[in-house]
Structure 1
Amino acid sequence: MTDALASPTHSEPPLRDEDAKLADFGYTQKLDRSVGRLASFAIGFATISATTAVFTGFGAGYFTAGGPFVWTLLLAAAVFIIWTLIAADLTAKIPLAGYSYQWTSRLVGSTMALFTGVLALAGWICGMTGVGFILSGYLGSLFGWNMSQTSQILVAIGVMAVCMLINLYGVRFATMVNNIGVSLEFIITVGATIVVAVIAFSSPDNHQSVSVLFTGGASDDSTPYVLAWLAASLGPFFGLIGVEASADIAEETVNARKVIPRTMFYALTASIIIEFGMYVVYVLAIKDAAAVEAASAAPIEEIITQQAGPVISRIVVAVALTNVLACILANILVATRLTYSMARDNMLPFSHVWRHVSPSNRTPTYAVLGIFGLSTILLLSALVSEKAFFLILGLSSLAVCAMYLLQTVAVMIATRRRTIPAPEPGTFDLGKARVPVAVVAAIAFTLVCAALIFLPQFAGNGYVFAGLLALTALWAVTGLRKRLATGEAGPDYAKTHTS
């Protein structure tokens, strides 16, 4: 296979200009193509957000399966390495905003692409709403606020509004803020983990035995440990979702076909190393297990307090919140580009609104506002039914994993139909390995989707998921079907219509 990290030889022709490549797909460059290598990496890294994953997922894993849950990250890493190979292969050939819709649309067809696009959109919106809700809770703890549920929801809406305004200002400003958040994550959060490790291992009394990483029991004695361990693996698995997010800003990335595949692998590698290191350190650094269990809502904060004191703990939590904010910011950026891309092909209701791009900041303004509006509605729904709110948030990982599954199926179908574009010199290409890799990925994502539907911890996810699919199918057979039949929607729409 062609290695995306290698430079093309002198005998190879140069890549065509990205704007010209975009024109080949039938689109005019409207977005601001200013995202470089660092920003592309930062978007993928922030969407994964190692700090967010550890701060929100540590408790679920540790309290479910004990110390050995840390090894489940390696299982998740293997799956996402396979997925990143597929994503890099497709990005190098179809460098379009709204990849989850565009890849399937170009490879298989518009109807299947509608489902992949809607699933991804639901995943990003539910995911960033959930992270915003969690962030508001941490803010209350940090500042000592005694927040009711209503207060937490209002604070979460305020957080989402800040991220919305940053995105409205333009991709340059949004990526700059995101870069700052990622830099703080590397310097402060990772640095604090190293400090905790140094303090913990300075004395045998300050840390647990390394054996706790290999011996554990299920929190529920009636559950076989292997099932508890697999259930615990879903936390680290969720922590790596979004590695391909930089593909969603392909039309705003300089030299996208070569840069994005590379930065995907860089972001995934960095996230795996950092997350695994943090999980191991914080498990071993537990001095008072009972206190950590009592602080189940914020176990990492309790562990840091035990080792370095409350002042250091509050500083680390404060910086971690900037990383969480960067995660939300990146999710909004990705979701709005997907909305814009689908609307550009007239695939959504009110597409003419969502595909509008501001001529001044070159941002899909109404798509940003629409994503913020949907997130706000979800947050306010918690005031009506808390159970329904958390069921909807639980849709996040299931929707994205289902999108991954459909994408890999599309790759297998497209390989058989020979609809996958030929690789350009110097770009990543799976070649003959494409189908075997896709088959393994399809099996892995099928198992994960089944777990998210049938495991007792996720009871109710299947009903919400089925509801989403039913609504999408209803739109497909009513409003969209006629549009596709008359050429008023789909990948060729932009060639014959002006916005």
Structure 2
Amino acid sequence: MIGADTVRPSPASPPHSVDSEYLARLGYQQELRRDLGPFASFAAGFSFVSVLTTVFEMFPLGYSFGGPAFFWTWPLVFFGQFCVALCFAELASHLPVAGAIYQWSSRLSVRDVGWIAGWLTLIGYIVSVSAIAIAMQSILPSLWRGFQFIGTNPDVTTLSGAENAVILGTITILASTIISCAGVRISAFVTVAGVYAEIGGLCLLVAALFLNTRRGFEVTLDTSHMAPGMSGHGAFLASMLMAVYVMYGFDSAAELSEETHDPARTAPRAIVRCLLLSFVAGGLVILGALMAAPSLSSGELATIGVPYVINAITSGIVGHLLLATVAISVFSATIAIQTSASRVLFSMARDRVIPGCEQLGRISSRTGTPIAATVFVGVLSAAFLGVNYGDASLFGAITSSAVGVTYFAYLLVTVPLLFRRWQWLRSDDDSSFEFETKGRVRRAFVNLCAVLCGALFLLNTLWPRTAVFDPGGERPYMVAFPTAFLMLALGSGIIVKKFQKTPSEA
């Protein structure tokens, strides 16, 4: 359990001895190379969220249901996820180890629960790699027609657009895999460069939006553009999916703890800061787009979103520059997500609790990275892109459902943490878990909020909405797809776990 496994060295301890002591107490040797500093750790989480990319992609979803008032879903989801981030930050300071979600859940509850948490996180992250990589199709052909290798129509709902999306996504994942295998220092360099580009693009975008406003902040109170045929609260909850689909993955900094200098201090700060900056930047983009849009009722905000506003207020050069920064952000995010997924897989393989553990848990002596795990994640992500070729709407449903799977994995950390915290508060005995004594009631309240909000967000992603999962009315069974996908993920995990002997059983 954590209380027995965790060490809280004195501030005077040398950084490298502290890092080694953490891992030694957890029963692990230092195999991954510690090459990451504070900003690289922050960049891992910020690139995963990739607010510039995800807000670009998800804005139409929020606006089509909630209209301008969907803006208020952004701070609401942030509140819940910030509570989760604070819980994760506290755990990262005690358990700075690769495979964070898997490791934390295992030590807070039982190994079987932790295994399921790791399995679900792995599925969610692998699908997320595919989802972010395929976003290149909505960007690169707009920058240069030469990126449309097949046909002339870049729309992913067309055959040529879907085929080209698979090609661009595969190339992106292949490049990401090569860079990730080359070493964490190289992948961190690319990720950091991507973060600088994304921050620069965000500053340029926000400046362009707020210099061309047509209406004031009161636009966020406009409820006249909500989806017809839905109640006000139903439309608002559906529009909340936009923020829910964006604000996750901030635990990525903790996944790289074994490659970070002084991770017990660095990772918690990175987790909190990346979510804070993502919230501020994303909120400004949403607000700016609403205030600068030429029209709130013409339909473009619900179908095209932010690019519609950019095209209306900027010249071709500025628009292309913004698209270029988005493309860089997409590539950086692909690397960050693939790296996180490979560390989860490596951590489970190192514990010998997953098939193929001998190869997947091996670290390259030359690059200091889990090459087999990285390649495995890349191959599965690239293979999954084929679903888009066969059925783009099914691909969208799976990627959306994978977010719900990740939220369920988060609950497998926050719920056991709350239970442990409640035991400690009742017994007033900190020997079983090294909680901070200062502010323990406040921390328990934050934990409770994290559990409640996480459960509500999960329920919202699973809710059977025809307008979200079957807008054409041709596949009524698709409304149950998110729940079915979660059940399939859990069922497959139970089957794999049953046939994989643990070290104690072998």
Cα deviation digits, residues 396-432 of structure 1 (max 9, x gap): 2101110111111121333438786426xxx998644
Where in structure 2 are the equivalents of 1:89-168 lying within 5 Å?
Answer: 89-144=90-145, 145=148, 146=152, 147=154, 148=160, 149-168=162-181
Distance in 1 separating the partners of 2:431 and 2:248: 27
Give yes or no for the alignment of 1:422 onto 2:428.
no
Whether 2:447 is the aligned partner of 1:446: answer: no
Cα deviation for residue 55 of structure 1 reads 0.6
Aligned residue type for 1:382: N
Equivalent residue, structure 1, for 2:5: none
Counterpart mapping for 1:47-58 below 5 A: 47-58=48-59
Q: Are residue 18 (structure 1) and residue 4 (structure 2) matched?
A: no
Contact 1:92 1:428 in 2 (8 A): no
Where 1:92 maps in the other structure, the secondary structure is helix
CA distance in 2, matches of 1:267, 1:336: 21
1:475 aligns with 2:496: yes
User: Distance between the aligned counterparts of 1:170 and 1:472, measured in 2?
Assistant: 30
CA distance in 2, matches of 1:267, 1:428: 26
- Note if 1:316 corresponds to 2:322: yes
Matches for 1:111-260 after TM superposition, within 5 Å: 111-144=112-145, 145=148, 146=152, 147=154, 148=160, 149-198=162-211, 200-201=212-213, 207-217=214-224, 219-260=226-267
167-176 or 440-449: which moved more? 440-449
Q: Counterpart of 1:32 in 2: which secondary structure? A: coil
Deviation readout 1:184-206 (Å, 9 max, x if unpaired): 112233223213321x14xxxxx
Superposed CA offset, 1:70-101 (max 9, x none) = 12111011111211110011111111100010
Deviations 1:271-326 (A, max 9, x none): 111111111011111114466x3475542222111111222112111111111211
Deviations 1:242-296 (A, max 9, x none): 12210000000000001111122211211111111111011111114466x3475
Q: Which amino acid aligns with 2:233?
A: V
Structure-2 residue corresponding to 1:301: 307
1:394 counterpart SS class: helix
Q: Which amino acid aligns with 1:337?
A: R
Residue in 2 that maps onto 1:326: 332
**SS of corresponding position for 2:502:** helix
Residue by residue over 1:116-147, the C-alpha shift from the partner in whole angstroms, topping out at 9 and shown as x without a partner, is 00111111111121111122232123223324
Q: Is 2:399 the counterpart of 1:378?
A: no
For 2:493 and 2:439, how far apart are their aligned partners in 1? Answer: 32
Larger displacement relative to structure 2 (130-139 or 275-284): 130-139
User: Which whole-Å CA distance do the structure 2 matches of 1:380 and 1:268 have between them?
Assistant: 32
Distance across 2 between alignment mates of 1:157 and 1:38: 29
- 1:109 deviates by 1.8
How far, CA to CA, are the matches of 1:294 and 1:255 in structure 2? 48
Deviation at 1:219, TM superposition (A): 4.2
- The structure with higher relative contact order (CA 8 Å, sep 6+) is 1
Confirm whether residue 464 of structure 1 aligns to residue 476 of structure 2.
no
Looking at structure 1, the residues matched to 409 and 116 of structure 2 have their Cα atoms a distance apart, in angstroms, of: 8
User: Could you tell me which of 274, 283, 287 is aligned with 1:280?
Assistant: 287
Deviation of 1:441 (Å) = 1.5
SS at match of 2:96: coil
Change (3 A) 1:185 1:473: same
Shift of 1:358: 0.6
| CA shift in 2, pair 1:261/1:295, >3 Å | closer
Corresponding residue of 1:4: none
In 1, Cα distance between equivalents of 2:231 and 2:431: 46
Using a 3 Å threshold, how does the CA distance of structure 1 residues 419 and 88 change in structure 2: closer, same or farther? farther
Tell me, yes or no, if structure 1 residue 84 matches structure 2 residue 85. yes
Unaligned runs of 5+ in 2: 1-7, 155-159, 425-429, 470-478
Q: Secondary structure at the match of 1:221?
A: coil
Q: Which moved more, 1:383-392 or 1:371-380?
A: 383-392
Structure 2 counterpart SS, 1:173? helix
Q: Do the aligned partners of residues 376 and 256 (structure 1) sit closer, same or farther apart at CA in structure 2, a change above 3 Å counting?
A: same
Q: 1-side partners of 2:329 and 2:352: how far apart?
A: 35
User: What does residue 394 of structure 1 align with?
Assistant: 400
Q: Deviations along 1:328-379, whole A, 9 cap, x unmatched?
A: 1110111111110010001111111111111001010011100011111111
**Matched residue SS, 2:240:** helix
Distance 2:11 2:140 in 1: 53
Q: Following the alignment from structure 1 to structure 2, what is the Cα–Cα distance between the partners of residues 225 and 433?
A: 34
Q: Does 1:365 align with 2:365?
A: no
Contact 1:68 1:215 in 2 (8 A): yes
Change (3 A) 1:301 1:353: same
Identity of aligned residues (%): 22
Q: CA, structure 1 residues 12+124, in 2 after alignment: closer, same or farther (shift >3 Å)? A: closer
Change in CA separation of 1:113 and 1:150 when aligned onto 2, cut-off 3 Å: same
Aligned positions, number: 467
Residue 65 (structure 1) shift: 1.1
Native 8 Å contact 2:136 2:165 kept in 1 = no
Structure-2 separation of matches of 1:396 and 1:429: 37
Do the aligned partners of 2:68 and 2:225 also contact (CA within 8 Å) in 1? no
Distance between the aligned counterparts of 2:11 and 2:378, measured in 1? 45
Per-residue CA deviations over 1:11-50 (Å, capped at 9, x if unaligned) read 9654752012101111110111011011011111111111
Partners of 2:408 and 2:250 lie apart in 1 by 15
| TM-score normalised by length of structure 2 | 0.87
Q: Deviations over 1:229-252 (max 9, x none)?
A: 121122122222112210000000
What is the distance in 2 between the residues matched to 1:218 and 1:302? 17
CA distance in 1, matches of 2:443, 2:373: 34
Query: What amino acid sits opposite 2:337 in the alignment?
Result: N
CA distance in 2 between counterparts of 1:381 and 1:220 reads 29
Is the 2:64–2:227 Cα contact (8 Å) retained in structure 1?
A: no
